[in-house]
Amino acid sequence: MQIGAEWICFDIPFLIQADDSIEGNEHARFQPCQNDIPAEIRIKKKATEHPSGKMAGLVEGDRLGNVSQTRIQVGFDHQFLSTIPDEQNVDFEAVKDDDYMQKMPELEGRDGYLIESAVSYLNRFLEVYRTELDRYWIRDLLPEEIVYFTLFSVAENGEENRRIRWYSGGTLIPISATLGREDCENLNEILEAEEQIPVHIELDLATRDKIDLREYDLAVINAATLFEAWVKKAIKTVLFAEGLTETDVENQFKRGEDDYRSITDIAKKVVPRALHIKFEDTDEYRAWKKDTRELRNDVVHEGHRPSKTEAERAYTASKNAVEYLEEKVDERLAELEG
């Protein structure tokens, strides 16, 4: 028996201001297309439980669904089902034999394909909804943020099969795996001393976060800023160790009275002067220039939309360049101290 439709159901942490359309209200059913293949999205608003009872409504900036959420149903008909890879195509009887509840460490197989596609169609809807209605706090979602998915396979005769899949995106760490005493003491030392987290560490985390969130343009910009922030701070440390005054150090980063050097100019001229190396001739410099700096300029100035691979290369190139220069900075500081 052939499958005529697939429905994927899950909850999202945003209130979609449209009539509930899972049952009725066909005008509030949405038909996003990707590659000329349509899907159907139906919604049902959900109240959130609070100590004082249920609460529902739109609160600007409610990014976590603390006030209201929305149940989403994404439906695929034969047009989409024909795109499923041949090796993943099964009949209705085979689907019925699947486990009712199953953890998915990876989005693979037929159900993984359906889940990933459903979230992709949802994100297209959220993109249009966000921009048309000025809901700035609404963003694209990832399958691992949603976690639980209920899938309904509908046979051509109307018979349904329901199953639950939960996707973690990683290894489940048991609640007993808590921080040790030493880790807690280290955290408290930093907290009590009111130490500022170095900006390049925050940028490193932010870059990986943006890659994970598939915000690849911001990931590229963060990767470029990561290198620039680290280099300026590290080279200033070396110049101060050489005995330069604050004014002299500041002048190293200028081409004129009010004209500051670009990061490329700093990498080619200030870095070699301070570290006694020709950074421009290294593989690390060439990779950073091509994969990070030039890509960043394309994103910022040309509106280029980078891919995941490009964003990952930009991050890797910046990290490798920093690690190479970090070793040279340590060597130079050791020389000056000796």
Find which of 32-41, 46-55, 155-164 is predicted with most confidence, using mean pLDDT. 32-41
Q: What is the pLDDT of residues 225-273, one digit of tens each?
A: 999 999 999 999 999 999 999 999 999 998 877 788 999 999 999 999 9
Q: How many angstroms separate the Cα of 326 from the Cα of each of 260, 264, 331, 332?
A: 23, 17, 9, 10
Long-range contacts from 28-37, C-beta under 8 angstroms, 24+ separation:
30/125, 32/121, 32/124, 32/125, 32/128, 34/120, 34/121, 34/124, 37/79, 37/80, 37/83
pLDDT above 90 (res 11): yes
Mean pLDDT, range 294-303, rounded to an integer: 96
**What pLDDT sits at residue 338?**
73
323 vs 103, residue with greater confidence: 323
pLDDT above 70 (res 70): yes
pTM: 0.81
* Lowest pLDDT segment from 2-16, 62-76, 83-97: 83-97
Nearest to 275 by CA among 233, 329, 326: 329
Percentage of residues in the chain having pLDDT higher than 90: 69
pLDDT above 90 (res 171): no
**Residue partners of 34: CB distance under 8 A and separation at least 6:** 120, 121, 124
170, burial (CB in 10 Å: exposed 0-12, middle 13-18, buried 19+): exposed
CA–CA distance, 243 with 238 (Å, rounded to integer): 9
CA–CA distance, 79 with 84 (Å, rounded to integer): 10
Averaged confidence pLDDT in the chain: 91
**What pLDDT sits at residue 201?**
92
pLDDT above 90 (res 173): no
CA–CA distance, 311 with 299 (Å, rounded to integer): 11
* Lowest pLDDT segment from 52-66, 117-131, 157-171: 52-66
pLDDT above 80 (res 174): no
Question: Is 2 within 8 Å of 91 (Cβ atoms)?
Answer: yes
**What pLDDT sits at residue 158?**
86
Sketch the domain layout of the chain as residue ranges: 3-167, 196-337
Tokens of 102: 């199953």
CA–CA distance, 14 with 137 (Å, rounded to integer): 9
* Lowest pLDDT segment from 45-54, 137-146, 158-167: 45-54
**What pLDDT sits at residue 54?**
64
**What pLDDT sits at residue 63?**
84
* Residue 41 three-state SS: strand
CA–CA distance, 106 with 144 (Å, rounded to integer): 10
Tokens of 214: 């598939």
> Residue 101 — pLDDT band, cuts 50, 70, 90?
confident
